Amino acid sequence: MKILLFGGAFDPPHKGHVSILKKAAQHTDFDKIIVMPTGTPTHKKGCVAPFDVRLHMAKLAFGDIGENVEISDYEGTNLKDDYTYLTLEYLKEKYDNPHIFMAIGSDSLLSLNSWKNAQQVMDSCTVLAFAREDDVEDDMAEKEAELEKTGADIRFIKVDPVEFSSSQYRKGFGEENRDFLPQNVQNIIDEYDIYAQDDITRWKGTARLLAKLLLDEKRYIHTLNVEKLAAELGEKYSLDVEKLRVAALLHDIMKNASYDILLHRASQSGIINKIEDKPKQTLHGFAAAHYAAKEMDIQDQDILWAVKSHTCGRYGMQDMEKVIYLADMLCEERKFDSKDYLLGIAKENLDKAMYAALQHSLEWIKSKGNTVDTDSLGALEYFAQLAGEIC
């Protein structure tokens, strides 16, 4: 079996990537072509779009090249380190030791022997290196000779110069750059402001797209309802409504993630000391905050805490956390007896609403025979103190 592997950040994928893949596909008769967006790039730091958005853009850009093309989520969803030698090991095992051809740019070829376990990489695949004609004759020939001493199988594919890069696009070079992206990729970027220079605009648009991509229909509608009520309460209490929108759009973003991913992200969110004490259903808030920080580079503590504490609250909650907690519980599609009563209080006084909402939630949790989280007990104590019921 012959596999062509084409990895990259694809942040965003542009027409140069598409033409390289098409050219590589002609090199031999491949049974499978795997396009693999990098998770957290090892050699190229600083992705703007999160993995899930880059995966989606890759599907748009490369999806119609051929029936044997697969856009793989492997590097963004496995819990191992993101190294090429591990990806090659994975493909060797999955496809029963295929002949892998790895397509890379000439710049990557120059640094190939500094990659982690470079010898293993070179032993595991044939390298298809893309280079401009004059490069092949100069630097590349020298590099090829050097690498081939290690037994590497390197084949050059000559390409026309591409006077464009994804990093140029991200920096924003004006309208003329629009021609360099596939139309469907450009459309999604425009619709969701994925590369907006302003942080809040970019976070909000990206979070909205992520909610659409990662959540089922019911949870997506819930998320939009939480956003709506959070914005309404935010206006009322003169809070930063745009930040609240970002937190609302992200609060359940890990709701459909596997338990392994939840545990992995939650345990790295830096606030769970005893993860084994946390009820499973509370982990997605911590995991979502980790996702926001790591995948979207959101370091705003107001947003991160509002996402983190929405499942169980905490002692000393701030106003934005209260709003997301209450909006999550009292948004449009929620139906329970005391909802209108609690919503009425939420529009009068956030602390009183939190105290009443927590009492209601904890009673409900106990009635189902479930364990009450220690953070929820801390939150209840905090709002009871504010209400003057305990000292």
Q: Cβ distance 101 to 4 under 8 Å?
A: yes
Of residues 119 through 138, those in contact with Fe ion by CB under 5 A are none
User: What does each C-alpha distance from 283 to 210, 221, 254 come to in angstroms?
Assistant: 19, 21, 9
Min dist CB 262 to Fe ion, Å, is 12
Stretch that binds Fe ion, among 9-17, 19-27, 322-330, 338-346 (CB under 5 A): 322-330
Min dist CB 323 to Fe ion, Å, is 13
What is the rounded distance in angstroms from the CA atom of residue 347 to the CA atom of residue 345? 5
* Other CB atoms within 10 A of residue 196 CB: 17
Q: Cβ distance 9 to 49 under 8 Å?
A: no
What is the rounded distance in angstroms from the CA atom of residue 158 to the CA atom of residue 77? 33
Q: In what helix (H) or strand (E) does residue 304 lie, and over which residues does it extend?
A: helix 301-308
- Site map 77..116 versus Fe ion, x via CB under 5 A: ----------------------------------------
Q: Cβ distance 76 to 37 under 8 Å?
A: yes
Query: Is the CB of 149 or the CB of 218 nearer to Fe ion?
Result: 218
Query: Is the CB of 154 or the CB of 248 nearer to Fe ion?
Result: 248
Per DSSP bridges, beta strands 69-71 and 153-158 are: unpaired
Min dist CB 219 to Fe ion, Å, is 8
Query: Is the CB of 65 or the CB of 365 nearer to Fe ion?
Result: 365
328 binds Fe ion (CB under 5 A): yes
Stretch that binds Fe ion, among 25-33, 34-42, 85-93, 244-252 (CB under 5 A): 244-252
Query: Is the CB of 328 or the CB of 375 nearer to Fe ion?
Result: 328
252 binds Fe ion (CB under 5 A): yes
Q: Cβ distance 11 to 107 under 8 Å?
A: no
Strand, helix or coil for residue 3: strand
Min dist CB 233 to Fe ion, Å, is 15
Min dist CB 45 to Fe ion, Å, is 31
What is the rounded distance in angstroms from the CA atom of residue 248 to the CA atom of residue 257? 18
Query: Is the CB of 11 or the CB of 328 nearer to Fe ion?
Result: 328
Min dist CB 362 to Fe ion, Å, is 16
Residues engaged in binding Fe ion (CB under 5 A): 252, 328
